[in-house]
Amino acid sequence: MAEQKEEVKSQSVMSLDLGTAIRKLLKILKRALPRFVSGKIVTLDINQTGIRIMETRGGMVRSWADVSFEPEEMEQMAKGGKATLGAKVRQLMDSSGIKAKNVIVSISGMYTISRLIPMSNLPPAPTLEESVHELAQEIMPVPTEGLYVFWQVVGTNEGEQQVFILGVPRDVMDDNVRALKSVGLNPQVVELKTMALARAVNKEQALILNIEPTSFDIIMAVQGVLKIMHSLAWRQDSRNIGDAIEYLAANLEMTVDFYNSHHLDVPFDMTNPLYITGQMSVEPELMEKLQTRLGFNVEQLTPPLECPAFFPISQYAVNIGLAMRREMPVLNSDGGAGFFPLDVNLLPQTYRPWRPKANQLFYAGILVSAVALIFPLMQISEEEIRKTTNLELKNNYLDNQLQLKMMEIQKREPLQKAISEYNSIVTRDVSFNEDIKVIINEAEKVGAKVSSISHGGGEINISCQAENYLSFRAYLTALEESGRFSTPIPPPEGYPYTRGGAIKLEPQISE
């Protein structure tokens, strides 16, 4: 009996071990399968001094290469030489053996403008997109007509969502995209270097210093949100190593101080990691002295991608971040949570191939079904169509007649108005003749002479002259006391010591 129990127990243990082994095997297969079925991803990191290209497949870096621009090439591209840039990219792909038509490309944040705005600050508008574009016109320091404007709702800040708004100069974007298209390359995604670097680091709290020969970037991630993306131009070759280190360190410290001054309650934790990337990150002397100067916790970049042992990770950090746009679902297929920074595709809509969306296909299907259902109802007889046509013709005729009548009425309106005004003058209680009689009689009484009378219905203009100013004053007083004119009567210039002049009278209307 004891032996049977022991045997049953042994079998259950073996069964449990087998089940665990199967689950682990399935988990491994689930993670490994995408590496064999996923397509290759080719990324391009284009900066002012050169190009870096990298190919990945299934979460693994397969090949990479870079090329530097000659001084004359840099000068040509600075003047808008799209053909030079495109030819250089094609030359690098041919020499490295990396073949692709579709690529993911980075763009420098040097001339871009970004803002992080609370949702509550957005102006009212019918749609969120219209509200964002209206706000962008207000906050951007340059006219938005010269920018491609992109936006994305990002994580919460003390319970409130925020909107990241980005403006990219149209000429910079157009030059890069057209240069690639000129050599047969199709940029599917365009992304800021700073966003790609944040994705490569894959940390919710971190500082990133990306150093290139002619520029450097400072990125600060706090609670999974990119709080600061700062790109500056510099000439590393114009400074000695001591000045270069001090300049980089000072800018990094000023960035942290700026953030802390706006977040006094929760300052940036200096124990958070600092990652140094870019072409200059492989300069031993620069890195050694820079780490000694900085008071930050400098760590080596360990991206989720599987990289060969001799692969220069820090130099290709931008490419790694670009590749992780597509590789991230593969890397997190086991259910693990990763840090997903801003995921904005900066490729303008005009350069994107049209593809129907799922909802568009759905509504198209509904439309086709509706047409199929109502088609039998549209089989109307020829007689019914003829009757409908006749009714439409009659309706058009009546409508034209109505329009003619309305035009005739409009033409008569001025005449009707004139007649009404004439009737109102004729039927007015106060007689024009009586007004004139009073004016003449009162003038004769004081010995004044009326040289002209102009009666306009609403007002009477007279010109008179008395023997002296006392007679003229008596004349005005008599006109006011007659009760036929509105008082007081405005006297002419020079009154009360003038002997005459122009007088404007307004007939008194009887109630």
**pLDDT below 50 — which residues of the chain?**
1-16, 34, 37, 330-338, 429-430
Are 347 and 419 contained in the same domain? no
State how many domains the chain has: 3
Q: Is 286 within a domain?
A: yes
Q: What type of residue sits at position 430?
A: V
Q: What is the pLDDT of residue 11?
A: 44
Q: What is the pLDDT of residue 455?
A: 73
Question: Which residue, 427, 462, 482, sits at the end of a domain?
Answer: 427
Are 157 and 266 contained in the same domain? yes
Q: Is 246 within a domain?
A: yes
Q: Is 9 within a domain?
A: no
Are 110 and 179 contained in the same domain? yes
| Pairwise CA distance, residues 62 & 54, whole Å | 8
| Pairwise CA distance, residues 375 & 297, whole Å | 72
Q: What is the pLDDT of residue 336?
A: 41
143: domain CATH number is 3.30.420.380
The DSSP secondary structure of 351-399, one letter per residue, reads: GSPP---HHHHHHHHHHHHHHHHHTGGG---HHHHHHHHHHHHHHHHHH
Are 295 and 382 contained in the same domain? no
Are 149 and 290 contained in the same domain? yes
By CB atoms closer than 10 A (0-12, 13-18, 19+), residue 299 is: middle
Are 55 and 190 contained in the same domain? yes
Beta-carbon contacts of residue 146 (< 8 Å; ≥ 6 apart): 169, 170, 171
Are 494 and 412 contained in the same domain? no
Put the strands of the sheet holding 186-192 in their side by side order.
60-68, 50-57, 40-46, 102-107, 186-192
Question: Which residue, 427, 453, 477, sits at the end of a domain?
Answer: 427
β-pairing verdict for 206-211 and 273-277: parallel
Q: Check if the beta carbon of residue 175 is closer than 8 Å to that of residue 198.
A: no
Beta-carbon contacts of residue 89 (< 8 Å; ≥ 6 apart): 44, 46, 51, 53, 179, 180, 183, 185
Question: Which residue, 339, 355, 371, sits at the end of a domain?
Answer: 355
Q: Which residue has the tokens 């009404």?
A: 420
Are 344 and 466 contained in the same domain? no
Q: Is 5 within a domain?
A: no
Q: Check if the beta carbon of residue 503 is closer than 8 Å to that of residue 443.
A: no
Are 386 and 444 contained in the same domain? no
Are 423 and 438 contained in the same domain? no
Q: What is the pLDDT of residue 376?
A: 64
Domain assignment of residue 124, given as a range: 33-355
| Pairwise CA distance, residues 174 & 160, whole Å | 35
Q: What is the pLDDT of residue 17?
A: 60
| Pairwise CA distance, residues 348 & 173, whole Å | 8
